[in-house]
Amino acid sequence: MFGTDGIRGCAKILDKEGYKLGRALEGAETVLVIGDNRPSHERLVSALVHGLTDAKVNVIYGGVLPTPAACECVDYFAADYAVVVTASHNPPQDNGYKLIGKGGAKVERTILDEIEKRMSTVSLPDRFGAPLPPVTKEVARVYLDRVTPESVPQGEYVFDCANGSTYPIVKRVFGGGRYINHGEGKKINVLSGATHPETVEAARQAGEWGFSFDGDGDRLIAVSPLGRVMDGDAILYALAVAYHRRGKLAKDIVVGTVMSNGGLDLALAKEGIHLVRTEVGDHHVAAKMKEEGAILGAEPSGHVLLNAPSDGIKTALALAALSELTDVDTLLEGYEPLPQVHRTVPLAVGIDKIQKRADLWRGYLGGTGRIVLRASGTEQVYRVMVECKDPHLAAEIADGVALGKQN
């Protein structure tokens, strides 16, 4: 039920899961609810609120806001949980429920397992839905206050808001700049935002920063003033090296995942920085950061953790501030990613078959590259990543693992 980042799927069939989740949170005193601006927002919030109301839980409804607002506000409102109705970077027809605990962190797996058990015993009503509570505007105000620095970095910016929930807040924070793909939830993530950085890349002019958020605002992919696309690995490199050179990188350690580029290890090591890897998922990155005492972590997908839960606006601010101190493009010359090729495989193919193919190709690669297989936590697919110095070989191996092709 709960994948890498909550419950997610086709919005048409999620009403009952929302109701069950609300009922399963019985015993909580207060739950904060926000969400992105998908067409299914009101219907799925209504189902969740119905369940919470039947469970005698007090609901604070913050309306349409980025996911990081829940992380920032859950403690402020003394809520036991925050639930974000979103499918993050998924297309408009999907939706889901992210569960945030006290302290703004994703809820631990053991607690999620218990909630799943409770959900499985919930009896469904004949109809779903309850009137939405009035929007508590203080939620947006508190988040805006916490995300806005005393001095906003000045520069030339283009923001791709992925037609999601980030636009009203980022516009208030940065003020100036150009904004594209904002306001239409029915087009959320469609050829826009963090999963399509080529859109802001094409929209920006020479010398401008391009910032691409995903639909719920917890990811950022950037384009530097000279036009270099910066995924989470490149952002992590730039911030880590800058902090390290100023003596502000705790323990000279940063955290990535098994999907982080091998070139990142090499580049950071040259600067005297150690990359610690963990499982995919920003909650795993956060846990490993806490364990290692690190203040920086990231996923290639654009989750960047600045000693706090991932927040696309905060990441954009950090890069903008860094740009005032140094030439980021010059800084990035020290990082050369290794070629990576990604493929997806339907779950029906079966992990055993894919694993056998991968083992054969690993023997061929020897120690000159990596093959990573994992089940997606957000879609019904297996993900295949192949990394090696030769991009053509990486593509051949990726097709061999995913499709059984052999050249």
Q: Which residues are catalytic?
A: 88
Domain C-terminal end among 311, 332, 353 = 332
Q: Comparing 128-137, 197-206, 220-229, which segment has the lowest mean pLDDT?
A: 128-137
142 vs 19, 73, 98, 271, 388, CA distance in Å? Answer: 28, 7, 20, 38, 46
Residue 57: band (very low, low, confident or very high) from pLDDT cuts 50, 70, 90: very high
Domain C-terminal end among 278, 301, 332 = 332
CATH code, domain carrying 302: 3.40.120.10
Q: Is the pLDDT of residue 407 over 60?
A: no
Question: Contact at 8 Å (CB) between 186 and 212?
Answer: no
Per residue in 306-352, pLDDT (tens digit) is: 999 999 999 999 999 999 999 999 999 999 999 999 999 998 888 89
Residue 91 and residue 110 in one domain: yes
Instruction: Tell me the Ramachandran region of residue 208: left when phi exceeds 0, alpha when psi lies from -120 to 50, beta otherwise.
Output: beta
Distance CA 237, CA 221 (A): 13
The residue range of the domain holding 133 is 7-143
Residue 269 and residue 366 in one domain: no
Q: What percent of the chain has pLDDT over 90?
A: 89
- Give the number of domains in the chain: 3
Question: Contact at 8 Å (CB) between 312 and 68?
Answer: yes
Residue 114 and residue 164 in one domain: no
Residue 247 and residue 286 in one domain: yes
Per residue in 61-116, pLDDT (tens digit) is: 999 999 999 999 999 999 999 999 999 999 999 999 999 999 999 898 899 999 99
Report how far Cα 250 is from the mean position of its chain's Cα atoms: 24
Residue 404: band (very low, low, confident or very high) from pLDDT cuts 50, 70, 90: confident
What is the pTM for the complete model shown?
A: 0.93
Residue 282 and residue 167 in one domain: yes
Residue 136 and residue 221 in one domain: no
